[in-house]
Structure 1
């Protein structure tokens, strides 16, 4: 295959005219340079990067649920028989396990309270306490805060896969436009080369006509052939300029502005094509389907839904929370408040029927099944796309070989016909037909070469391998 590729490139280059290099800004970029340019300067990449930043901030927001907080309560009787006032300040630090919260509190009270509010009373210096609150059933193993943090991290992983998927598609589109420009440029060069040859031949025909060796109609037929090629060149140049405009969307300067390739730009000696496919690499590309970012997106979504399913099951449990603390009053006052106190409290609740939690669990379980089906469908679709691309690549390789042979035969036949014409055994009509056949064969060979490159590119695109290709340094 490598020998075949080298022969293909040499044959293709033999059809073209070697032109002098232009200034750097007028030269067509190589493929690695285009890939680097698109990933560095294109606004679309900035959009994706900003979305990544948003998800990073989303994770920070989810983690903020465990930020410590300060709470204050102040109450005062402004009228009536009792004049008691109380103030409390708490520092609450959420913990990761068992929905636990570490609580430290200082409170102080003054004045008289009714008997049913005696819990507000403290010694003159107030009361300091430290304790912990935690869940024993519901929210013990999982809760919305911990699930939020876990899913936020998974969302970042999911977007990384989506980023690779979108960049793969984006680079693939840009390279397709590049190949269209490259094909048009090769064709323009081929026709221009033929026109240069015809101009040189015109001199010889004019000399023979002046000597009386040729009829004037022969030169007229020749000029008609030249005009036909000039029209073909004009049409190809129109296609080339349109392709350059389309490519400008992907080729940018450092400020992110579009750059249009100059219509007079010459082809590089090599476009440094990095997507060459050999028979030995097909198996590696096929194996890469297992790591396709489209599948990674679904797998990550399955993990997110699995967490949501655990959270839904958690809501089916009764709520049983424990709060324990140790408190100590400071200062003077009633002796009953002077001792160190230990307090334990339990809170229990359960929603009878719990239909909302059951419905949520059923809905999440159904989503998990859907994701499983979508994963199978996505994998089957990728496998089918790869096999189709592989078959097309094989066919493109065969067509390229045949078109190159056809081009070589057309050149040989044209050379023989020209020898016959010079000897007077043929006429200009037959010679023009042979020359036209040569041009058509060359253009078909160019189309086959570009089709081969497109087939190789598609194989890499199907397995999301376009973004994996190293860019220019």
Structure 2
């Protein structure tokens, strides 16, 4: 069990390296250093290959990139927005023409927004459209709206951005957990393959010993020093060991096939290891010693995933509580017309400043 945990450390350490063109995974726990082992296919090669080509890891990386896209989309809710409108009477008693352009910048720390608009008109308008009149060079106006109760600390836009950031962290942690699982299975497949190879070596040595012993007994029987029945008994033992060798070679071939799921070539095609690729011994890893349990728990991706889920739930609860608050918004605006006096009269000329509020409250929840 201790060796299994030590080998698992290789999976974590291998995640520190990310293949070219792949989305980096979240930084895992510092892993123990691998002790250089003998020749043959090394565990580090298998881990690097599985990290690069395992379908579940590639899917997790794609989900991480998709989460990055959702973060970018949530930031778009705070982009500067421009809108325009206009109309012109082409027939009738009045001949007024009106054009307006407006830029709106949502606030990132409040549910309100800042606005800047410019409008200009020509001609005459009916009294019920008196607001359309401007001086000859038009009117410039700035306006600010600020939420005081509902939407002050959180609203749909800020929740969307906050939730997208949490989802991105969750996707990264999921990718790390999946990668660790794949690397653990790669370690198991590699260990079973090496163990099967060593078992084949043992049985091959036993078969060789039995054959040498058979030759020796045959010579002794020919010289009359041993009974012929001993030659038959040893031949049975030789056949038994040969059958065990055949079974061990079959297990080695099956283990190589399982290992090919994690060891692939540069094009991602499975590579079946041969007996010539076998190392002479299992890889050994220095044990990681950490006496601080809190530090160990803080680095566990599964615990971090739970914390992110809790943060996501708290954000949703905060948004729903915000919706129960009455809406109280304060606005302030300032405007000034420019140029010669228009048909609207001199009432448009002076600088204007307005402050006010809007209030709404559901009477039934």
**What's the TM-score bracket when you normalise by the shorter of the two chains?**
0.7 to 0.9
Judging changes above 3 Å, is the alpha-carbon distance between structure 1 residues 245 and 284 closer, same or farther for their aligned structure 2 residues?
A: farther
CA distance in 1, matches of 2:290, 2:351: 77
Give the TM-score normalised by structure 1.
0.64
Local SS of the residue matching 1:91: strand
Judging changes above 3 Å, is the alpha-carbon distance between structure 1 residues 241 and 286 closer, same or farther for their aligned structure 2 residues?
A: farther
**1:99 aligned onto 2:111:** yes
Q: Which residue, out of 85, 94, 97, partners 1:85?
A: 97
Quote the offset at 1:84 in angstroms.
2.0
Aligned to 2:300: 292
Quote the offset at 1:313 in angstroms.
1.2
Quote the offset at 1:67 in angstroms.
0.6
Find runs of 4+ consecutive structure 1 residues off by over 4 angstroms: 281-287
Q: Which residue, out of 245, 258, 261, partners 2:257?
A: 245
Q: Which residue, out of 323, 333, 349, partners 2:331?
A: 323
Quote the offset at 1:266 in angstroms.
5.4
Encode CA deviations 1:394-432: one digit per residue, 9 max, x unaligned: xxxxxxxxxxxxxxxxxxxxxxxxxxxxxxxxxxxxxxx
Aligned to 1:463: none
Judging changes above 3 Å, is the alpha-carbon distance between structure 1 residues 255 and 169 closer, same or farther for their aligned structure 2 residues?
A: same
Judging changes above 3 Å, is the alpha-carbon distance between structure 1 residues 215 and 276 closer, same or farther for their aligned structure 2 residues?
A: farther
CA distance in 1, matches of 2:102, 2:335: 13
Are the equivalent residues in 1 in contact too, given 2:149–2:326 (CA < 8 A)? Answer: yes
Quote the offset at 1:232 in angstroms.
1.0
Are the equivalent residues in 2 in contact too, given 1:30–1:270 (CA < 8 A)? Answer: no
Give the TM-score normalised by structure 2.
0.82
Q: Which residue, out of 128, 150, 159, partners 1:147?
A: 159
CA distance in 2, matches of 1:290, 1:336: 67
**1:125 aligned onto 2:137:** yes
CA distance in 1, matches of 2:209, 2:124: 114
Encode CA deviations 1:282-309: one digit per residue, 9 max, x unaligned: 9768973454222211111111111111
**Which ranges of structure 1 fall in alignment gaps of 5 or more residues?**
3-26, 355-473
Quote the offset at 1:321 in angstroms.
2.0
Judging changes above 3 Å, is the alpha-carbon distance between structure 1 residues 254 and 285 closer, same or farther for their aligned structure 2 residues?
A: farther
Aligned to 1:342: 353
CA distance in 1, matches of 2:347, 2:40: 91
Local SS of the residue matching 1:265: helix
Judging changes above 3 Å, is the alpha-carbon distance between structure 1 residues 298 and 209 closer, same or farther for their aligned structure 2 residues?
A: same
Q: Which residue, out of 225, 230, 248, partners 1:218?
A: 230
How many equivalent pairs are there? 325
**1:305 aligned onto 2:313:** yes
Local SS of the residue matching 1:323: strand
CA distance in 2, matches of 1:286, 1:188: 45
**Which ranges of structure 2 fall in alignment gaps of 5 or more residues?**
3-38
Q: Which residue, out of 314, 318, 334, partners 2:322?
A: 314
Judging changes above 3 Å, is the alpha-carbon distance between structure 1 residues 216 and 284 closer, same or farther for their aligned structure 2 residues?
A: farther
Judging changes above 3 Å, is the alpha-carbon distance between structure 1 residues 289 and 338 closer, same or farther for their aligned structure 2 residues?
A: closer
CA distance in 2, matches of 1:81, 1:282: 88
Query: What pairs with 1:438-457 in structure 2 (closer than 5 Å)?
Result: none
Judging changes above 3 Å, is the alpha-carbon distance between structure 1 residues 276 and 137 closer, same or farther for their aligned structure 2 residues?
A: closer
More helix per residue: 1
Are the equivalent residues in 2 in contact too, given 1:127–1:330 (CA < 8 A)? Answer: yes
Report 1 or 2 for greater relative contact order, CA contacts < 8 Å, sequence distance ≥ 6. 2
State the Cα RMSD in Å: 2.4
CA distance in 2, matches of 1:286, 1:119: 66
